[in-house]
A and B are shown apart, each in its own frame.
Chain A
Amino acid sequence: MNVTVEFTHLEKRYGRVRALDGVSCEVEPLVTGLLGPNGAGKTTLMRIAATVLAPDRGSVRLLGRDPSSATDRVEIRRRLGYMPQEPGFYRSFTTFAFVDYVAILKEMTDRASRHDEVRRVLTQVGLEDVANRKVKTLSGGMRRRLALAQALLGDPELLVLDEPTAGLDPEQRLRFRELISQLPLRTTVLLSTHQTEDVSALCERVIVLAGGEIRFDGTPPALAVTAGGRVWIADGRDDAALLAWRMGDGRYRHVGNPPPGATLVDPTIDDAYLLMVGDPSAQEGAAA
């Protein structure tokens, strides 16, 4: 497989806060999930992948080109789709007019074929029925789908999606999974999320980022395996566990170092993620 995204020793600081600290990885044309707590550096990495932010140190290659070169940057942007964490919308535009405007900014200059493309992506995200409605009248979930629609314009080879399922209801999230799985196989999808279920369901590869560093890089099942022997179930809460919660059947599921004789169970990605990033409250404010 060919490498489409290449990060080498990336460093990025915001003042005294270190957002990325020597991040290196290569990504191929598949769906790669980026998991991490708030402030882990996910959005910084996504912005670098979307060519809107340059690292302080290290090198980046996207689709075989160097985004620090102005010419290469334009070429990358022609083949890139980006949905930021907080997408912006022209609220006074209609849904169709907004996507059409973005399509012009993607250099789709022929009116007829551009309009066909706008209709295609609106249908893809299920917004074809609200094409003539003003953006300001759309619900939060619809707006996220609209942000996704503009990112899908032109079948980009590299799709950078920063928390695309935030604010979507369960049905919309399932539809989102269906949509991503229908993308051409040549598409490289970089997906940042807090939803471990999305990673399990969609991603062939997962990268766990915490404190600006990569803590794990592998497949979702391999991530779950890292928690092997550290998840157990008991009738009562064990204070030695890193985290414990009562389940539907009244028993407690524990994550951490099990006591002798504990009833071990198969770990999930959630368990492994919890163990990997440690106490989530300790991560708050670690990085931008």
Chain B
Amino acid sequence: MSATGTMPTNPRASLRPLARVEAHKLIRHPAFLAGVGFVLVGIAMFVRAILSSSGSTWNDDGWTVGVAVAVLAILTMVAANLAALRDRREDAVEQHMALPVAQSTRTGALIAATAGPAMVVVLLLAGVVGFAISRVPSLTAADQVHLVERLSAVVMLGTLGVALAGWLPSPFVAPVIGWGLLLVSPGDPPQTWQVLTPWASLRQAELATWHLGYLVGLTVLFGVAALVRSSRSRSLVIAGVIGAVAVIACAAVLFARACPSRTGVCWF
């Protein structure tokens, strides 16, 4: 057909180049760049604490990095949401409907594009973790899981941003939800239900791992919710069931073990 002769036989072959374009757009989005700024400030505060005190621990002083990455995750959600709403915002829906790439492929590419922000977070954290390991002896297993959790929260909230664009197509929804997520952050002492918030930092490595599983399950569920708007397949149903089982199982374990006495004494 084409002058270029590049028609693929696999209709999903466009997913990778689309995801690459969307990832580049995400990591250059002003909202995401603002999040990167927060992380740099958080890292600077942590490094300053390490350098100025010999008794620093990741748990005591690393919270600035954790909070900053949480903010970046929320801003990633806003950026992904705006990217997913782009056709609607720019009145390009009809024009792009006449093109062969399916909407489900475009949604899949947006979800895959959240790997871009995640990679940026990895690069930002790799440096600070390397520095912290050389200076702070107490980077525990739980601390390490928390770092992976923050990373997975970036992907999870990015995917939520894409799903929200399909179900509640307004650019105001994601910022409101993001603000709400900040408000439900665990306080001191934390409430039992707050174990289900993305930012619950459980002190035991095993519980933190269950919380990580809970976040991964949510990511799968949000991904299915985004894709099911334009495509209904058996594999999506299976993925949805797996995500739901993971979320329920991990939440059950967290409820049972993070706050065993139901007296408000929680291990996070």
**Chain A residues at the B interface, C-beta cutoff of 8 Å:** 47, 50-52, 74, 77-80, 82-84, 86-91, 97, 100-102, 104-111, 113-114, 116-117, 120, 147, 150, 153-155, 157, 160
In the complex, A91 Cα to B91 Cα: how many Å?
Answer: 11
By beta carbon, the residue of chain B nearest A155 is B3
A105 x B3 contact (CB < 8 A) = no
Query: Which residues does chain A contribute within 8 Å of B102, judged by CB atoms?
Result: 74
B11 x A107 contact (CB < 8 A) = yes
In the complex, A89 Cα to B87 Cα: how many Å?
Answer: 8
Query: Which residues does chain B contribute within 8 Å of A83, judged by CB atoms?
Result: 95
Q: Is B92 an interface residue (CB 8 A)?
A: yes
B95 x A51 contact (CB < 8 A) = no
In the complex, A102 Cα to B87 Cα: how many Å?
Answer: 12
Contact with A along B1-28 (1 / 0, CB 8 A): 1111111100101101110010000000
B6 x A105 contact (CB < 8 A) = no
Q: Is B97 an interface residue (CB 8 A)?
A: yes
B13 x A77 contact (CB < 8 A) = no
Q: Is B86 an interface residue (CB 8 A)?
A: yes
* Given A107-B11, A109-B17, residue A80 in contact with residue B6 (CB < 8 A): no
B90 x A102 contact (CB < 8 A) = no
Q: Is B127 an interface residue (CB 8 A)?
A: no
In the complex, A51 Cα to B102 Cα: how many Å?
Answer: 13
Number of interface residues of B (CB under 8 A): 31
Query: Which residues does chain A contribute within 8 Å of B101, judged by CB atoms?
Result: 104-107
By beta carbon, the residue of chain B nearest A100 is B21
In the complex, A87 Cα to B98 Cα: how many Å?
Answer: 12
Q: Is B44 an interface residue (CB 8 A)?
A: no
10 cross-chain CB contacts under 8 A:
A88-B95, A102-B99, A104-B17, A106-B101, A107-B100, A108-B7, A116-B4, A154-B1, A154-B2, A155-B2
A108 x B6 contact (CB < 8 A) = yes
Query: Which residues does chain A contribute within 8 Å of B86, judged by CB atoms?
Result: 90
B94 x A88 contact (CB < 8 A) = yes
**Chain B residues at the A interface, C-beta cutoff of 8 Å:** 1-8, 11, 13-14, 16-18, 21, 86-87, 90-102, 106
Question: Which 10 pairs between the two chains have the least Cβ-Cβ distance?
Answer: A88-B92, A154-B2, A82-B98, A88-B91, A77-B100, A105-B99, A113-B4, A110-B6, A117-B4, A105-B101
Contacts across chains A and B counted by CB atoms under 8 Å: 105
By beta carbon, the residue of chain B nearest A110 is B6
In the complex, A29 Cα to B106 Cα: how many Å?
Answer: 32
Tell me the smallest distance from the CB of A51 to a CB of chain B, in Å.
6
Query: Which residues does chain A contribute within 8 Å of B87, judged by CB atoms?
Result: 88
B3 x A77 contact (CB < 8 A) = no
In the complex, A50 Cα to B2 Cα: how many Å?
Answer: 18
B100 x A114 contact (CB < 8 A) = no
Query: Which residues does chain A contribute within 8 Å of B16, judged by CB atoms?
Result: 109
A107 x B92 contact (CB < 8 A) = no
Partner of A154, one of B4, B14, B21, B91: B4
Query: Which residues does chain B contribute within 8 Å of A110, judged by CB atoms?
Result: 4, 6
Tell me the smallest distance from the CB of B108 to a CB of chain A, in Å.
13
In the complex, A108 Cα to B14 Cα: how many Å?
Answer: 7
By beta carbon, the residue of chain A nearest B17 is A104
In the complex, A78 Cα to B1 Cα: how many Å?
Answer: 8
Q: Which of B96, B99, B101 has the most CB of A within 10 A?
A: B99
Taking A105-B101, A117-B3 as given, write out 8 further A-B residue pairs in contact, using a Cβ cutoff of 8 Å, ordered by the A residue number: A82-B98, A88-B87, A100-B21, A107-B13, A107-B101, A109-B14, A150-B95, A155-B2
Query: Which residues does chain B contribute within 8 Å of A102, judged by CB atoms?
Result: 96, 99
A82 x B95 contact (CB < 8 A) = yes
Q: Which of B2, B21, B86, B101 has the most CB of A within 10 A?
A: B2
Tell me the smallest distance from the CB of A191 to a CB of chain B, in Å.
16
B100 x A105 contact (CB < 8 A) = yes
